[in-house]
Structures are given as structure tokens and as C-alpha cells.
Amino acid sequence: MMDSPYQSKGTFLNKIMIIRKLMNPFFRSEFCVIVIVLCLSSYGVCLETRTLTPSTVLRDSDTFVSQGKIFSLGFFSPNGTTRRYMGIWYYVSKVSVVWVANRDRPLNDSSGTITISTDGNIVLLNGNNETVWSTNATTSPRNTSAQLTDNGNLILLDQSNNVSLWQSHEHPTSSFLPTLRLSHNTNTGEKVRLNSWRTSQDPNYGNYFVGLHVSIGIPQLFSWNQDRPFWRSGPWNGRVFTGVMSMYSVYVDGFSMVNEGGTYYFTRSFRQNLIVKDILNPDGILTEEIWNNQTGHWDRSYKGPDVDCDVYNNCGPFAFCNQYNSPICQCLRGYEPLNKQQWDGGNWTGGCKRKTPLQCERSNNATDKSKEDVFSQLRMVKVPDLIQWSPGLENECRSLCLRNCSCIAYSYDTDIGCMHWSETLIDIQQYQADAGLELYIRVPYSGRDKEKDKKVIIIVLVIISLVVISICLFFSWRWMSKRKRKNVIEQQEAGETNLLNSTPIVLRNPEDNVNIEELPLYSIEKLVNATNNFHTANKLGEGGFGPVYKGELANRKEIAVKRLSTVSGQGMEEFKNEVAVISKLQHRNLVRLLGCCVERYEKMLIYEYMQNRSLDVFLFDQSQMVLDWRKRFNIVEGVGRGLLYLHRDSRLRIIHRDLKPSNILLDKEWNPKISDFGMARIFGGDQNQANTRRVVGTYGYMAPEYALSGRFSEKSDVFSFGVLVLEIISGRRNSSFYNEELSLTLSGYVNPIKFFCQARV
């Protein structure tokens, strides 16, 4: 934390009052006061300027501000010191220095000034008018000026042609700023790198550097402790650094790599109005923090190295590091500790050595292919350093390595190509999540064979167990098949027939009985083929009734198959109820029933397929980007029309009783359709409400009188519709919105009387 560079306005006004008291009455006129104010302003009291010219002098209390007031340039002192430095910081309430000019030559007092010298350079002068720091961009007098951009870049411009002569972004200190380029010129070896402060109170040159290193055209980001690697990102594949798991925010915010004639550089652009600082700290830790306007603090979003396994070559050669293992370091397959005593004591720097020499001399012997070297796979890793590259496709990478006796490992990435290693394998890190690449380590046949022999007993026991279980399952299947065979054959011969054209579905209440005519019946065989045997890849979701699968009939028509689960709390009553209700309903905002399947142990309903699934998938999505206000309005209107049809316009008056986002399906045009009528009840023409002992539905969407006493009516659906509208507007679940002080859920906020009364309490 740095001292504020801003001087209070009180000091400025005090100077004016003292001068007025010293002046005689003639000079105390308002006109003279104005003249004095102008003179003091030109002298540099609390000056904020946008452009620095040869006639401008920035004194210790002055600041040089970017156009959008994002960055400021001026003088600062590290916390707890009196030394003064020229630097750039974010224009926020807490000063955060991102660039320092005279980091190795501080001023001892506040007499320093910043200006443009006669030779056109930006210079920092001490109280004796001696040059402490200079851009050293020109050697002859020029008409120049300086600007501070909203990217934190201090630029020296030649005003005659508006050409940049010098930029602070080309001479970074410890911070990575927007549009700043960390580069590596592979032709000259020149690098532009970050350099840490010596300590948190001393901006002098520190021990740690961060920069880009390019070998054989593969860029990697490195952190060095002086000249020793401290951290490595893994190779860049054109999209990501393959060895960094926790930098996803970087890729979202415009991280890019560019090659200009052998000079590789990466840069970064941030989202608008986002204030981010990436700083290399004195201990070598690179942190990213985002400014929080609400709290007035910096929130950390990234830190690296973060764990022991992030440190370069933490486990030594031929070993890999996994933070979730115990111990974290393990030898690669086919290797053993170089010094077992040190290894067991937790000193892993010595690494590992090969157990058995490679047998690569047999690789090209066609008569002895079974004895050639093999490869052991290590998944989800940051591949080793010292990469070599070979042209070739994925299926050629293994054979290329196998034909080369010096090749000890290989890896393949679609964007990088075939990578291999020939000397040593260092800095390998394994992850738990789906990240990194697959590494294939070359091991001798005998070594791998011995390791397999250790597991022979376990493998044999597992195989025997699987065989016994398979036999039991086979006979169980045959026994069940015999019981079903007759019914299955009849259904297969019938194909799609009339399900209940002569038999009505009789519901619990006689007045609710409905005769179903010409409802197609699908055979179980057709549905098995349509859903790929109810494969999990075809599963769309699962509700109280059971799972729902996507299917495709022989005529290429897409369907949704709702399969009654054997463990479901709902049974034949709900199944019949849904068939009875929905088969007679025809409305553009109600899902259409295409048919059903009723076989001895299976009960399924076949619906039209909704391409956009259910409303809750998009409504409660974290990005909130799919449903714009037009779509939300159309969804509310469509659900309202469907509900009005159920209550007033259909042949049957129907109370849905389970209206919620997961029961609103969306077609490819985003038209809403009400679904899941398993809980619905049919009312008579003169019936307004009913009671039930079995309260069904979803809490949070139930009307109070229904949830407490089992009394339901059209008003019950209207209440559920109201909660649904609130969720569509807010994008939040009713159950997730809770005010601890007022004990209100989302629906509670629509009652201003209740809100007022509880607030008074």
C-alpha cells in the first residue's frame, strides 16, 4: 500500500489567505486575488493535467492523469518510507503502483519535478535540477510531448509526425497491464520481461522475472528466480497454456499470442470498465486482483505458483508431482528413486532412475515385435520441459518415437503436433481435473511385464467374479424373457395400434372418466431402437415420473419418451391420469401427446420433441445471456394462454397442480408448452374447488391453502403462475431468494403490506 499522492485543498486555500493578509488594502481586491490564484496554479499546486509539454512542470504534489481517469502519474512513497519515486498507479481510492521510473535511484525529499527536457526526453529532476532518470529516447532537440493512456502506458510523442519515441510498456517493471507485450525475439534472444520489487517497501530491481520463452516455435510462460526457472506454464497450443488449470479467466479476457517475424509476444485485453492488476510480487508469486467498486478493495482471482507442485521441477527428473497424492512426488512407471533414503525422507530433488535398460535395439526386428519397448500412459499432465518437435500425425507419433532409440517419451496435441523428449523428463505435474495432455513414457517390455505379474492374481479373481455374475444375469434375463415373450410378440405384430379405443381409462373419481379414442400404441421394440436402448447419452432429464429420453423413429421423426420408473413414487394412477388429460387437449401452448406404450412392466408416454428442453435450463443459467426480455415476455404470455385454455376454453376444466419452470418446455422457436399432467385434476362444469388428502406438487409453487389443507382450485394454478412470472423476471429460484432480516422469499416481496409490517417489527 502506498501513500496517497494527492494534496488536500486546505493547504492551497491557506496559502491564499496568508498572502491576502500580508498585502495592503489596495492589493486586497478580488481582481488581485484571482491573479494570485492563477499564479499559484501555474506554480503547480495540486495540478491534474492530461498532456505533458516542455512548458509543464509536475511537482511532488501534482498528478498526470489519463483521459478516462484510469491511471495517474506522479510521486509516491512506499508504505513506511520517506523515499520518493516517480510512478504510475490506478486512479482509485487505494493507490496501486504498476510502474516505477527511478526504481534504483529514489529521491530523499519532495523537491523532485517531472518535465520534458530541452532534448525532448521525459526527465525526473531532483532539487538541485540534476537528472535522476530520463527516457533517453532522443539526443537532439525535438518538439515532443507526453501522454498517459487509459492502458497505463506513458508515451513520448514527436509532435511533428505524431510518432512514438518511447513507451513505458516497452520497459515494464512488476505489473502486466492491458496491451503490454511480454516478448521474446528468437533471432536476437532479446526479451521484455516483468521484474519484481526487491521488497514490498523497495521498488528496486528484485530477484524474480516473468517472461516468454520460445523454443522450436513453441512458446511457454516462465518465472525465473534470477536465472533459475521457478515456474512454467506448459506449451501454448494456440488457445491455452496446456499446463495452467486456474487461468481460465485469462483466456476469457482476450489473451492472445502473436509471432511477428520471429518475435513472439503475448498480450491481453480486458472487459470494459474492469480494473485488473497482474503483479509479480517480491517472493516470485504472480497474482491477479480485480478492483471491487462496491467494497473498495482488490479481490484476488489468481495466484501462481499456488501449491508445491506448481514450483518448477519440484520432484526432480523422471518423477511427477500430484498435489492430491501422498507423498506428492512419485517416480514414473519403470523408474525408482535415485536415493531411496533421501526420497523416503521427503527430499525429492534427486529424482528417479530407470529400473531396467530399454530394449530399443529389438524395435525394428520384425521377428521379435512382441519384445519391443512399450509406452506407459500418464493422463492429465503438464508435459515435461525441454520439448523437441517432430512433424507427424497422432497415429505416427508413437512409431516415430519407437524408431528412435534416444526418444524416451512423446505426447500429441492437435494444435501443437508431435512432441518428444530424448534426454530427461523434468517438471511434470499431474492434475485431478480434466486438464493438461497425455504423456506416453517409454518402458522396456520386461519391466512392464514384471509389473503386470504383480497384479495377475487380482486380475484373475476379477475375471472369475465377472464371469459368475454374467452367468447369473444371463439366466435371470432368460427367465424374465420367457414371461414377457408372449406379450412382446403380440405388440411387435401389432405395431402402432389403437390403445384404448374400446376400453375407457377409469380414474379415481367416476366423474373424471374419459374415453380415449385412436391413441397410437408404440411397441417396446420401436422405442428401444429409437432411443438406442435408452442410452444415457439420449437422456434429456428426470422428474418425479421417471427419466425422459430423446428418440428418433424410423421415419426420422424426433420424439421424447417419458418412461415410468419402477422406483418412482408415481404409478399407474398418474400414468392413466396424464393419458386421460392430455390426449383430449389441443393447444399451441400445451405439449402434444403422440402415443404411449403399455407392456407388462413398462409404461411410457411419447411426446413431441422440444429442441430447447425445459425453461429452468436457461432461466437459472449463470450467464443469463440466452433469454432476453422479448423471449421472457413471450414465454409468460404463452404460459398464460395455455393456462387460460386449461381453466376456461377446453372441453375439460383442468387444474394442473404442478406448474413450475421444469414443466415448461421450449420448442426450437422458443414457444412455451405446458407439460407433465400426471398431477392434474379434471373438474366438472359446475365445480369450483376440491379437496385432497394427498398433497402433490412442488413446495415453493403451491398455494398456501393447497399446501396446508389440500384445497385446490383454479387459484392454485394462478398462484403457481405468479411465482413462475417472478422467477422469469428475476432469473432466480423462489427457494434461493431469502432475506434474513425480513424472512421473505422471492414471492414474499410482492406483498407490500407484509413487507411493511415485518420491517416495522
Same domain membership, residue 163 and residue 25? yes
Among the candidates 170, 185, 220, a domain finishes at 170
pLDDT (average), residues 718-742: 77
Which amino acid, one-letter code, is at 13?
Answer: L
Same domain membership, residue 287 and residue 214? yes
Partnered with residue 225 across adjacent β-strands are 208, 228
Same domain membership, residue 217 and residue 256? yes
Residue 444 lies in a domain: yes
Same domain membership, residue 627 and residue 595? no
State which residues form the domain around 645.
615-759
The pLDDT-based confidence of 310 (bands split at 50, 70, 90) is: very high
Residue 668 lies in a domain: yes
For residue 282, whether the previous peptide bond is cis, meaning omega lies within 30 degrees of 0, is no
Residue 43 lies in a domain: yes
Residue 428 lies in a domain: yes
Q: Which residue has better confidence, 732 or 758?
A: 732
Task: Give phi and psi for 664, each to the nearest 5.
Answer: -110, 110
Q: Work out whether the CA dihedral 453, 455, 461, 463 comes out positive or negative.
A: negative
Rounded CA-CA distance 421/281 in Å is 33
pLDDT recorded at residue 121: 94
Same domain membership, residue 263 and residue 156? no
Same domain membership, residue 149 and residue 35? yes
* Residue 277 three-state SS: strand
Same domain membership, residue 421 and residue 502? no
Q: Which residue has better confidence, 26 or 694?
A: 694
Rounded CA-CA distance 662/610 in Å is 13
**Is residue 111 over pLDDT 80?**
yes
Contact 566, 615 (CB under 8 A): no
Same domain membership, residue 23 and residue 159? yes
Closest CA to 173 of 200, 196, 190: 196
**Helix runs in 345-444, H state only:** 394-403
DSSP single-letter state for residue 646: I
Partnered with residue 215 across adjacent β-strands are 218
Strands 255-260 and 154-158 come out as: unpaired
pLDDT (average), residues 120-126: 95
Among the candidates 574, 592, 608, a domain finishes at 608
**Helix runs in 677-747, H state only:** 704-709, 714-730
Question: From the centroid of its chain, how far is CA 348?
Answer: 34
Same domain membership, residue 752 and residue 628? yes
For the ranges 175-189, 498-512, 719-733, 737-751, the lowest mean pLDDT is seen at: 498-512
Q: Which residue has better confidence, 523 or 738?
A: 523
Known catalytic residues? 658
pLDDT recorded at residue 274: 80
Total domains, the chain? 5
Same domain membership, residue 193 and residue 82? no
Residue 393: which CATH number? 3.50.4.10
Q: For 685, how many CA atoms within 13 A lie in the half-sphere containing its CB?
A: 1
Residue 463 lies in a domain: no
Among the candidates 587, 608, 629, a domain finishes at 608
**Is residue 501 over pLDDT 50?**
no
Same domain membership, residue 604 and residue 537? yes
Burial of 342 (0-12, 13-18, 19+ CB in 10 A): middle
pLDDT tens digit string along 270-286?
777 788 888 999 999 99
Q: Which residue has better confidence, 38 or 559?
A: 559
Rounded CA-CA distance 223/241 in Å is 14
Same domain membership, residue 296 and residue 212? yes
- Which helix (H) or strand (E) element contains residue 44? none
DSSP single-letter state for residue 750: G
